[in-house]
Amino acid sequence: MPKLTFPAAGEAMSAAFLGRFSGRAILGDVGEMAEAARKINRHAAAVAAAMRIIHGEQFHVLVDHEVGFVMVVRLS
- Asked if residues 2 and 65 have their Cβ atoms less than 8 Å apart, the reply is yes
Q: Rounded CA gap, 6 and 55, in Å?
A: 39
More confident residue, 18 or 27: 27
- Asked if residues 45 and 58 have their Cβ atoms less than 8 Å apart, the reply is no
Amino acid at 23: G
Q: Rounded CA gap, 58 and 66, in Å?
A: 26
- Asked if residues 38 and 65 have their Cβ atoms less than 8 Å apart, the reply is no
Which tens digit of pLDDT belongs to each residue from 45-64?
999 999 999 999 999 999 99
Does the global pTM surpass 0.85?
no
